[in-house]
Structure 1
């Protein structure tokens, strides 16, 4: 590789990382704006979950289709189309006057993300091989790691200064700039494979989308009770449809996904590990803003800034990824990452036990650092471990399959965290209200309960705010404990699948 080609590849890497950065900022910036959106539209917890979940749902439904098209039409063209969807969605979101229109905008953004992430990873897997792939994936991971927790900081600043609509205006301008930069600097790394059929497997697409939609709807409805009919029936039917999609696609002559890649132990081990990264990340980002902004009574900007320990620790983890892999191999680094995520979750949950506010916030800080380190160290190790085993001609399919697992992690992260948090919060609110001699009904979320105190005079309003705060903190204990348990179980599964792998 001569100096010119090296320089061109470095420019391409920076441009792809820029797309990843701004897209991940977009993904999580809305979480910190949820309290303001709630206030604007009077949305309940279920609607808040859908604002986040619709993005992840459509993302998961589109990602396999993106890999299918990318391997046939070209990865760069497909990626640029995905970036264009963000621009369209930004215009719709900027003018949204109610929750349904906002959901349409977020759904289109989810479709764009479902195209951009797998195509970016596929281009990296084609442009870089061998040791250079590890460097590229680490840089890519740092960009994504920066974007995810840095999103609340950007979102907080925009929300505090321009309102939540400012995020859409920011997105529209930034994504237009990213499209122009990528078109000028990223080469068309692969031609479309003419030998592969362009016939769209519409039945597979429909079954997958319906399955994810029903499963997500059940998770959102589970906030009113896991045993509720409108919770377990959609989840059960959704799970059956997803299983049916897998079986149908496996027997199809024109499959939407390449399940044969799962025969490789490294690839198979990375799939659930990456799922837990998104599960943890989206769970934390979904639960923490209401705690930092409503319970602790900070504005959106300060709330975003209080998540910076997660950002810094993630960057540090990604930066020393190569050092960790050199000493523990990819398998060891991935297991270490999952262990850190579980420990960080437990620390944040345990922090809510402490009566001292100093001890509580110190433990939350440590929990963010430990979890952030796991996020940063895990992503490049896992992606390099998996994508290094994928043939170039299947780069789009391999990247898309991994991304499906990651997005399923996002869906269950928001769904499980949101449902457990909501259920425990309402129960805790009633318990603490009765203990305090009060009899107000919870509006279903801590933000709405704080808003309803405006109708009370004297000390009653402050008492209700204290009850709501105690209930939310108590619910966080259960939410983060369940999350830690799920991660620990997954760690055991990953260790079992990869037990014979030495490197």
Structure 2
């Protein structure tokens, strides 16, 4: 066997291991969302607490990701990635023993920190190990692995929740992440890290400003479910936005910056940042809203609810497999814009499905919406990542990947925040009107899951009327939530088209 053939086999093993890490990461993220109704019932968590359980992961992810890029470029991307995988093992043990919401928040926060390290380091390693056409193929494989995890996670989470309860997810995570650490240590070569030439002094002021900014902004989004103009909503968002702006200005003037903002001068890289943000915005919005609809409103249970999200995975895989052909015809810019268009159309279709009075037509339309959104997710991610990472110098691979991941995680934060706040606000208002007209207590318990629990304690017609009011209110709120999401994605599509108008095809 010649040297070149051996090198190709080594690269294939490395790619397989990195894709395995991405797959289990996304399975972990989305499997947990399916368990939210079960957790809400077990721990008595309302919609705001559920938002914090999901947002804590995304918040810490966003706060850690730039620091991960900073350390990876100096200490080595593989070493940093393995440290991130180890955080998942620790967090799994804590989650397994969690008996209340605060302990669960700690576990999910540590997992968020681990994800904030692993994902940018994986992308950075791909950018170093593969260049040119090989990078496009590697990013496609990476995207397929992540895409498989997004909707496949609910299936795994549903099966574990149905058989072992929501704690089973944490036990599963601990075993799987230990296995992933072992195979990556054996198969992925050490690369990156310029310890001698670059400062290891961590700019903690920048880290603190960014974390505080994201935390306050997210808190405002969660509180917005009680009204955007309330002091508890707009004040944290305003202070958070000011801190994020201050972080950017401080870091830009620093001699030891946390992030490489100079990369944003490249129009291709700058266009990919908001485009990737919308991928996570859409994905996290869907998996936050849909489980309660499938499991509680339609009463399918966690396992069937997870299976009903499978059209999203099938379409995502199909979109990723078609990526090379689409890019060869319309280029990465055209593919990215097409993906955003599919996402917006899919969101609008899912929301419009709730208008159908007939249950079969409603579910068929939701299926069509999932297929459209899935195609956008699958085709968009590899095209956008290849388009952006192909413009990043090897010495800045960690920083470039981390900067893109920050935008993606901000999309996750605003996805959960905007979807959750709009859904909760519309649901509460609609439930009030429907319950009052039915002669029931108009005050919602805080979520459709908790209102169904209240209905279970009622007898006869009263319980049925309560469930009907909660179901109709949640479906009506879904129309507004998904329509708002479609508008946000469409506006971003226009911004991406404007930024990238002068880039080559």
Q: TM-score, normalised by structure 2?
A: 0.99
- What's 2:274 paired with? 272
- What are the superposed Cα offsets for residues 33-80 of structure 1, whole Å, 9 maximum, x if unpaired? 000000111011000001100000000000000000000000000000
- What are the superposed Cα offsets for residues 177-231 of structure 1, whole Å, 9 maximum, x if unpaired? 0000000000002243421110110100000000000001111111111111111
User: What does residue range 22-421 of structure 1 map to in structure 2 within 5 Å?
Assistant: 22-421=24-423
- What are the superposed Cα offsets for residues 127-162 of structure 1, whole Å, 9 maximum, x if unpaired? 000110000000000000101111111100100010
Please say which of residues 144-153 and 59-68 is displaced more in the overlay.
144-153
Structure 2 runs not aligned, ≥5 long: none
Q: How many residues align?
A: 503
SS in 1 for 2:392: coil
**CA distance, structure 1, for counterparts of residue 315 and residue 196 of structure 2:** 45
TM-superposed CA distance for 1:31, in Å, is 0.6
TM-superposed CA distance for 1:456, in Å, is 1.4
SS in 1 for 2:460: coil
**CA distance, structure 1, for counterparts of residue 155 and residue 238 of structure 2:** 37
**CA distance, structure 2, for counterparts of residue 409 and residue 402 of structure 1:** 11
Q: Is the 8 A contact 2:75 2:192 kept in 1?
A: no
- What are the superposed Cα offsets for residues 348-391 of structure 1, whole Å, 9 maximum, x if unpaired? 00000011111100000000000000000000000000000000
- What are the superposed Cα offsets for residues 328-357 of structure 1, whole Å, 9 maximum, x if unpaired? 100000000000000000000000001111
Q: TM-score, normalised by structure 1?
A: 0.99
SS in 2 for 1:297: coil
- What are the superposed Cα offsets for residues 84-110 of structure 1, whole Å, 9 maximum, x if unpaired? 000000000000010000000000000
Please say which of residues 298-307 and 434-443 is displaced more in the overlay.
434-443
**CA distance, structure 1, for counterparts of residue 277 and residue 447 of structure 2:** 27
**CA distance, structure 1, for counterparts of residue 394 and residue 270 of structure 2:** 18
SS in 1 for 2:426: helix
Structure 1 runs not aligned, ≥5 long: none
> What is the root-mean-square deviation in Å for CA atoms of aligned residues?
0.7
TM-superposed CA distance for 1:440, in Å, is 4.1
- What are the superposed Cα offsets for residues 448-485 of structure 1, whole Å, 9 maximum, x if unpaired? 00000122111110110000000000000100000000
**CA distance, structure 2, for counterparts of residue 192 and residue 164 of structure 1:** 42
- What are the superposed Cα offsets for residues 266-325 of structure 1, whole Å, 9 maximum, x if unpaired? 000000000000000000000000000000001100000000000000000000100000
Q: Is the 8 A contact 2:72 2:192 kept in 1?
A: no
SS in 2 for 1:500: coil
- What's 1:433 paired with? 435
**CA distance, structure 1, for counterparts of residue 90 and residue 41 of structure 2:** 25
